[in-house]
Amino acid sequence: MTLLARLLWKGLTLKGRPPLDPLGTSVLRFRVWPNDLDVNLHMNNGRFLSVMDLGRFDLSFRTGLGRAMLRNRWKPLVGGLTMRYRRSLAPFAGYELHTRLLGWDGKWFFLEQRFLQEGELAAEGVVRALFRGREGNVPTAEVLQPLGHEAPSPHLPESVRRWAEGLDNAAPPEVPREFPVLPPVPGGYRISLDAREFQFDVIHRYLAQSYWSPGIPREVVEQAARHSLCVGVFGPGGTQVGYARMATDRTTFAYLADVFVLEEHRGRGLSVAMIRALMNHPEVRGMRRLLLATRDAHGLYAKLGWTPVTDPTPFMQVHRRDLYRQLPAEG
């Protein structure tokens, strides 16, 4: 199938895919056809780059940016790209292309595009792109305005920032960890263990108002996530609606914490799906002890095999209950 035919097909089926938040993830499914192959009979490295165009096309139109591009006659231009190839794609193999916006500065948008086969990473690229109008380059703030997105850019990974400082000499993005395949979730929801997808505005807003961590600073939330095994659940439009993490040594012990699903998305089994994803993680399955503390969700955890501590005598704690409320206010 030619790239033009693929583009036409994705365009014709665009209405069948739900709209996306500007920070949502576009997921497209493809198959390796004979005209995609090179002399080694696997997908040509250059074909990955061509298929990535389709991912950016899908993301643009599902976020509403495509209509703004057509209305204003903006031209999307790639100003840099870096790729890592992890495994080959054989003839007729099915694969997915995941495309999402990492962030932006005043001029450039940075996008991540990942090729997955049966949940395993085949290749990953980071793209730097801008939009050019009749009078020159269009500022990113002006591009985002028709989408109604006024929030600041998410924090770009350090490796991407270094790469952007000088495309010829900067270090490429770090190789991502590979994650186990997670079962599908009904209702168009999606679960991910990939911390790069987490939307910390959503996570911090909830945790700072929760009964167990009132007033917790955002930097503490992000640092805790970096040092934990975490899972997130995302709605059909790509917005994060739930989160959970395990503070763990990844070998013998884990403490389950910060489990939540936004109220309007409850009753769909999303908490159970997140906890199962963590408990079934290869690094957790062989652990001797898992712990948690809850005020009112004992029934939920009992469904997953959790039981009350039969003898609390060996356990001790240091509990600084109002620690975050005592911290000086920012600014």
In this structure, the answer to whether residues 196 and 160 fall within a common structural domain is no
Confidence of residue 171 (pLDDT cuts 50, 70, 90): very low
Question: Given 135, 165, 195, which residue is the final one in a domain?
Answer: 165
pLDDT in tens, 58-87: 999 999 998 899 999 999 999 899 999 999
In this structure, the answer to whether residues 161 and 203 fall within a common structural domain is no
**At residue 73, what are phi and psi to the nearest 5 degrees?**
60, 40
pLDDT in tens, 254-305: 999 999 999 999 999 999 999 999 999 989 988 999 999 999 999 999 999 9
Contact 274, 259 (CB under 8 A): yes
In this structure, the answer to whether residues 29 and 150 fall within a common structural domain is yes
Q: Measuring CA to CA, which residue among 185, 194, 227 is closest to residue 121?
A: 194
Ranges of beta strands (E only) in 16-93 are 25-31, 75-85
State the number of CA atoms in the 13 A half-sphere of 135 facing the CB. 3
pLDDT greater than 70 at residue 179: no
Mean pLDDT of 148-167: 85
Question: Given 165, 200, 225, which residue is the final one in a domain?
Answer: 165
Residue 157's domain is classified under what CATH number? 3.10.129.10
In this structure, the answer to whether residues 240 and 279 fall within a common structural domain is yes
Query: DSSP label at 250?
Result: S
Mean pLDDT of 247-260: 95
Q: Is residue 171 domain-resident?
A: no
Residues of the chain with pLDDT > 90: what percent? 66
> In this predicted structure, what is the pLDDT of residue 323?
77
Mean pLDDT of 177-186: 71
Please give the radius of gyration of the chain, using alpha carbons only, rounded to the nearest integer.
22
Structural domain total, the chain: 2
In this structure, the answer to whether residues 288 and 234 fall within a common structural domain is yes
Q: Is residue 176 domain-resident?
A: no
Q: Is residue 173 domain-resident?
A: no
> In this predicted structure, what is the pLDDT of residue 167?
55
Residue 265's domain is classified under what CATH number? 3.40.630.30
Q: Is residue 175 domain-resident?
A: no
Long-range residue pairs from 295-300, CB within 8 A, at least 24 positions apart, any chain: 295/211, 295/212, 297/259, 300/271, 300/272
Q: Is residue 180 domain-resident?
A: no
Query: What pTM does this model have?
Result: 0.53
Contact 246, 256 (CB under 8 A): yes
Long-range residue pairs from 6-12, CB within 8 A, at least 24 positions apart, any chain: 6/30, 6/51, 6/54, 7/53, 7/54, 7/57, 10/54, 10/57, 10/58, 11/57, 11/61
Domain range for 311: 186-326
Question: Given 165, 199, 219, which residue is the final one in a domain?
Answer: 165
Name the residue with tokens 């895919």.
17
Confidence of residue 326 (pLDDT cuts 50, 70, 90): low
Residues of the chain with pLDDT > 70: what percent? 91
In this structure, the answer to whether residues 320 and 228 fall within a common structural domain is yes
Q: Is residue 231 domain-resident?
A: yes
Contact 204, 198 (CB under 8 A): no
> In this predicted structure, what is the pLDDT of residue 135?
83
Please give the mean pLDDT across all residues of the chain: 88
> In this predicted structure, what is the pLDDT of residue 324?
75
Contact 93, 38 (CB under 8 A): no
